[in-house]
Structure 1
Amino acid sequence: TEAIRRRDEEEQVFLDCPSMDNFINFQKANAKSKKELSKKKKSGWSRFCENLAPRTPISIIWKSFNRFRGSFSCNNCPSSNDSRIWLDDFLDKLAPPFVPSESCFPSSAPASPSYDPLDEPFSFDEISSILDGVKDSSPGIDGISYSFIKKLSDSSKLILLSIINKIYETGTVPDSWKH
């Protein structure tokens, strides 16, 4: 359909030139195509049900049921537990190329010593406690939900904690995170 073609074009534009605007355009086109596919799926299911007959083979019914339900065998899914095969693709989704690198953050100027406990960096226990109490909600523009972050390994949570503490320490939030 036109919506799928548009989504694929926007995805290619984003992949060729990763930017926040191209990502937003891709997300909008993706949402529109999902909505259109959902409508087509609903009308297809109605047509299928209307055309059922007492002699319809059960295998046809189950095959159609699974197709409409969304059960499929994934050819693009990682077929290996070897992280070297799928890790780069995963990391590009977690931190797309347009996410600023650590060098984009200004280095912190030496500050006078502070003894206020509120000025201390966040601890691993604090971030763990926060994540335990967070309820899942719609993901932001990055597409990452709280449930995904909750399931990160401890080493990944430590990296996230390091980024959060760097932002807190410098007082500088990357512009791309302010949307």
Structure 2
Amino acid sequence: MSKQTDLNGEAVEEMINDQMLVCLNNGYGTRLNIYKNEMSCIDLTLVDKNIASRCEWTVDESTSIGSDHFPITCQIDIGFKIEQGYIPHRWVFKKADWEKYVELCKEIGSLSIDNEQSIDEINGIVSSSILLAASQSIPISQSFKKQINVPWWNDKCSEAIKDRNRAFKLLGRTLTMDNLISYQRKKAIARKVIKEAKRESWRQFCSSIGKETSLNQVWMMIRKMVGKYKPPHIPVLMKDGINAISDIDKANMLNKAFADIHKGSHLEERFKKRKEEVLKANKNVLNQKEQNMSIMDADFSMSELKRALNNTAYSAPGSDNLCYVMFRKLPDNVLENILSLFNKVWNEGNLPTIWKGATILPFPKPGKDATSPGNYRPIALTSHLGKLMGKTHSSEIKLFLRIYQPSKGISNRI
């Protein structure tokens, strides 16, 4: 504790009394004066009197984080129920045993599919067979990275930080001029090493930028350089005086906000009127089907399916947890089952139930208040099987337009 009393301390004490606050400090030092080798309690932790008895206050001397102030940990037991957040299952394709995956798919995919079965049953058989082979050959990661990795960090940075921390601990045990100079030198070296690592990493990235580099990649690199990291957590949402604290309440509030936007209640009257006219004019469009033996009504072929597969890229899977990467590795006998499913869907005009659903991920809009449900942008993760059928149909339409309407340039806009 400090042995001196000054006007600043008296002002803080008066403020504590007026606001009825409690100081959690227990007399343990929070700062080391490296020139006098003395501990001081310059860092104060003030809380409301109603929660002071539930607080546990400690000082962490295991690290200095490059400062002469020690980190302070304050734990408050206020009886809140901590909910386990959503942790997605992520396939680790870099460690996949693709040879084993192909062999398992050949064995499982050899099962014949009865075309008399319903679309949902066939889709379930195809999906479960692929997932069964994937679960035995592709590892799964179920957690987020706890450590924030920046692209410029290297072994030299780690070693410099360790040397600086060792010098600081030695100075805290024995205050000598040599130890003080050594700590100041190691601290300056660590700062210089980190600065040079940042500069070199940024130069390497800038030298790799070309015409094919998207603006999104540049901004992602900038965020990584400064160590920006957004944990998968949505704060308490507030709307019309109602607070959503639990995950279920947050999901319901976001669902209502997204539904209001989809209804078009925010549109101007002229846009609402136009929307109603279009819906009325195309009321029964999904029920219309003409049998004119056109090439566009023909079944999908294996070449069209493989062409669509070649145009797929990695993206997050839907609720069925199937990915394009798995489809590209499938043997022909399993692709035949997928093709049979697509043609059955195409001829009957019905979609599998799971294709109609989506996993909605809310992302906060940059620079907006994250506590307002209207400031979130929904991203829908749908089944890759359903999207693959859409890509197959799209490639067929493009080919048709190139052959029969080459001069209109419509295919490039699909």
Same fold per superposition (TM over 0.5): no
* Largest Rg, 1 or 2: 2
- Structure with more strand by fraction: 2
Structure with greater proportional helix content: 1
TM-score normalised by length of structure 2? 0.19
| TM-score normalised per structure 1 | 0.41
The higher relative CO (CA closer than 8 Å, separation ≥ 6) is in 1
